[in-house]
Amino acid sequence: MKRNRLALISTVSALALFGGGVLTAQTFMTSRIESRVGSELSKASGVSASIPFLDIPRNLASDSIRSANIDIKNFTLKENGTKTSLNIAASNISKDKPTLVGTLELTATIPILTIAKASEFGDAQIVGDTLQVAAGAGGMGKAILIPKYSNNQLYFEIESISVFGNEIPASSLPAEIQDQIKGKSQRSLTPPKGLKVKSVSINSKGLSIKMYGNNVRLGNLGL
């Protein structure tokens, strides 16, 4: 009985040591990823990374990291200085430099206040998955807008306008109104090399742009 108890204690101790070693390895790997992102994306700050606990043994024995999730609180777009936040879901990340990512999904989020200011939309606020802005004489009406992306252009379209409680669908509006909204909000958006725009949407954080790509160099995101 005493032997069994000693064997159990030894096993538990060994597992504790193993678990501690894995946690240390996980901390080391996430730190390396954060450092690598900081060095290859000079406009990024507030970088944090996480990797699945169960992937640690495989990551230690391989020349690549199986998967990681990377959050960047502040990232400045090179073309116009716009501040965004980024979330990167990456798979098959090379340990060599420059960092090559086998599969990458990037979500860039631009604050709505930034969009509203650049487009001169009045009284902009998020309502569900749309942007509501002032419309009409004196801003008495409300226009419901949805984001669109086409031919490297990001812009908004009117879904409907509400005036004194009466809702007018976009199909009943003159084409000139749609053109005005598109013209005020239209901005060029060229994805980084190796990425394609998957979707654009509105959420509680702002305007989110999803991109994806294969065999993407991490440093290309800064371009």
Secondary structure (3-state) at 51: coil
Residues in the chain: 223
Query: What is the predicted pLDDT for the residue at 167?
Result: 83
Better pLDDT: 94 or 14: 94
Residue 206 has pLDDT above 80, yes or no: yes
More confident residue, 214 or 177: 214
pLDDT digits (tens, 9 = 90+) for 17-59: 344 455 677 788 888 888 888 888 888 889 999 988 888 888 8
pLDDT of residue 135: 78
Q: Quick check: 85 pLDDT over 80?
A: yes
Mean pLDDT of 66-94: 86
Cα distance between residue 207 and residue 131, in whole Å: 9
- pTM metric for this prediction: 0.79
Q: How would residue 171 be classed by pLDDT, with cut points 50, 70 and 90?
A: confident
Q: Is 7 left (phi over 0), alpha (psi -120 to 50) or beta?
A: alpha
How far, in Å, are 101, 142, 180, 223 from residue 186 at the CA level? Answer: 31, 20, 10, 21
